[in-house]
């Protein structure tokens, strides 16, 4: 029986908010829906020995958002709106490598074969489609996800920017073949900016 409840997994990794900036280590728990487009990412960054930043990143019921709080209580930043929702929905599509069960169970996904190693997957956000490309190797594993224009926050504006994530180190995690390593980058005019690196440390699936 295929799982219809959410998939949950743990991550460790580093993020860089801007090119040349400080690399921040994090631990995170992520939950991905299988039968609808939705996820929740709860991360904890240690900024200093006694200073922590909690970040919540999500997409649910057609809306996405981002929230950061010092010591889990003091608001530091918050983002929402149509561009954020589009970007968060695209994150879900790109991370289907971590939720392969959703490829069959999620009726909100639309598929299109592009070539022998590339498939497009799309979903509707506020009545309009957003899409990413999933790139496969000869063994059928997803090695990358890409988009020609994903919303990127630049100050108080949003700029459509080419984007790419890569996957590797496949192995069995809770009985499912998943990539255990990932990197994500904005493809900027002066070269790629890799801002996210993570490893999966465990995963579970709810099976009714």
Three-state SS string across 23-50, please?
EEEEEEEEEECCCCCCEEEEEEEEEECC
Residue 142 burial (C-beta neighbours within 10 Å; 0-12, 13-18, 19+): buried
pLDDT at 205: 63
Q: Residue 3: its pLDDT value, please?
A: 41
The pTM of the whole model exceeds 0.85: yes
The alpha carbons of the chain give a radius of gyration, in whole angstroms, of 17
| Extents of the domains making up the chain | 7-200
> For position 127, what pLDDT does the model report?
94
Q: What is the pLDDT of residue 132?
A: 98
Burial bucket for residue 95 (CB in 10 Å: 0-12, 13-18, 19+): buried
**pLDDT computed for residue 175 by the predictor:** 83
Q: Please provide the average confidence, as pLDDT, over all residues in the chain.
A: 92
**Strand ranges in the chain using DSSP code E only, listed in sequence order:** 7-16, 23-32, 39-48, 51-60, 63-70, 74-79, 110-115, 118-125, 128-136, 142-154, 157-173, 176-188, 191-205
43-54 pLDDT, tens digit each = 999 998 889 999
Q: Provide the pLDDT for residue 57.
A: 97
Query: CATH number for the 7-200 domain, one of 3.30.70, 1.10.3470, 2.60.40, 2.50.20?
Result: 2.50.20
pLDDT in tens, 10-27: 999 999 988 888 899 999
Report the pLDDT value the prediction gives residue 85, as an integer from 0 to 100. 98
Pick out the chain residues at pLDDT < 70. Answer: 1-5, 205-208
């Amino acid at each position: 029986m295929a799982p219809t409840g959410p998939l949950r997994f743990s991550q460790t990794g580093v993020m860089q908010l801007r090119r040349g900036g400080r690399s921040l280590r994090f631990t995170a728990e992520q939950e991905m829906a299988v039968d609808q487009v939705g996820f929740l990412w709860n991360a904890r960054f240690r900024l200093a020995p006694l200073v922590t930043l909690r970040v919540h990143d999500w997409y649910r019921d057609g809306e996405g958002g981002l929230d950061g709080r010092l010591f889990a209580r003091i608001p530091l930043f918050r983002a929402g709106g149509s561009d954020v929702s589009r970007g968060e929905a695209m994150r879900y599509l790109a991370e289907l490598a971590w939720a392969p069960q959703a490829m069959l169970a999620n009726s909100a996904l639309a598929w299109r074969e592009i070539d022998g190693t590339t498939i497009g997957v799309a979903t509707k956000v506020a009545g309009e489609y957003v899409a990413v490309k999933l790139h496969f190797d000869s063994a059928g594993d997803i090695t990358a996800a890409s988009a020609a224009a994903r919303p990127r926050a630049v100050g108080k504006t949003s700029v459509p920017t080419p984007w790419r994530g890569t996957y590797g180190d496949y192995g069995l995690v809770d009985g499912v073949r998943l990539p255990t390593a990932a990197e994500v980058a904005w493809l900027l005019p002066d070269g790629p900016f890799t801002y996210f690196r993570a490893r999966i440390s465990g995963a579970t699936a709810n099976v009714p």
